Amino acid sequence: MTSIVRLLAASAGLAAIAAMAGRAAAMPPFAQAYGVKCSVCHTQVPALNAYGRYVQRSGYSSLDPHVLHRAFPFWVGESANYDSQSGPPPKIQFGNLAIHAVGYLGDDVTYHFQQWIKANNQAGDLDTFWVTYNNLLHRDGHLFVGLVNSPGPSPYSQWMDLAPFSTPEISVGEHTYELDGNGWGSKFNYIKGSLDLEAAWEYGGSGWSQSSAFINSDKRFMYKAAYANPENPFEAGISGSRGSWPLAEGGFDQYWSVAPYVQRDPNKGVPGILAIYQMALDGNPTATSLSAGSTAATLELYQPVFDKGVLSIRKEWTNDGLGTLNQTGNIDFNYQVAKYVHAYVEEYFAQHTTPGFAWMVWWTTPLSKVH
Q: Check: CB of residue 156 under 8 Å from CB of residue 165.
A: yes
> Which CATH class, in words, describes the domain spanning 2-366?
mainly beta
Q: What is the pTM of this model?
A: 0.90
Neighbours of 288 (CB within 10 A): 9
- Does residue 215 surpass a pLDDT of 50? yes
- pLDDT tens digit sequence for 227-264: 999 999 999 999 999 999 999 888 899 999 999 999 99
Q: Check: CB of residue 281 under 8 Å from CB of residue 293.
A: yes
Q: What is the pLDDT of residue 26?
A: 62
Q: What is the pLDDT of residue 17?
A: 41
Which DSSP state fits 271?
P
Q: What is the pLDDT of residue 213?
A: 54
- pLDDT tens digit sequence for 149-191: 999 999 999 999 999 999 999 999 999 999 998 999 999 999 9
Q: How confident is the model at residue 212 (pLDDT cuts 50, 70, 90)?
A: low
- Does residue 15 surpass a pLDDT of 50? no
- pLDDT tens digit sequence for 301-337: 999 999 899 999 999 999 999 999 999 999 999 999 9
Q: Check: CB of residue 256 under 8 Å from CB of residue 242.
A: yes
Q: What is the pLDDT of residue 25?
A: 53
Question: Which of 125, 128, 146, 162 minimizes the C-alpha distance to 21?
Answer: 162
Helix then strand then coil, in percent of the chain rounded to 5, is 15, 50, 35
147 vs 23, residue with greater confidence: 147
Q: How confident is the model at residue 148 (pLDDT cuts 50, 70, 90)?
A: very high
Q: Domain boundaries in the chain?
A: 2-366
Lowest mean pLDDT among 22-36, 233-247, 278-292: 22-36
Q: How far is CA 356 from CA 86, 167, 330, 331, 350, in A?
A: 9, 20, 9, 11, 9
Task: Decide the pairing of beta strands 97-105 and 74-83.
Answer: antiparallel
Q: What is the pLDDT of residue 47?
A: 96
Lowest mean pLDDT among 13-22, 52-61, 235-244, 272-281: 13-22
Please provide the average confidence, as pLDDT, over all residues in the chain: 89
Radius of gyration for the alpha carbons in the chain, expressed in angstroms and rounded: 20
- pLDDT tens digit sequence for 79-135: 999 999 987 889 899 989 999 999 999 899 999 999 999 988 888 889 999 999 999
Q: What is the pLDDT of residue 83?
A: 95
- Does residue 211 surpass a pLDDT of 80? no
Give 67-103 as a DSSP string.
Answer: HHTTS-SEEEEEEEEEETTSSSSP--B---EEEEEEE
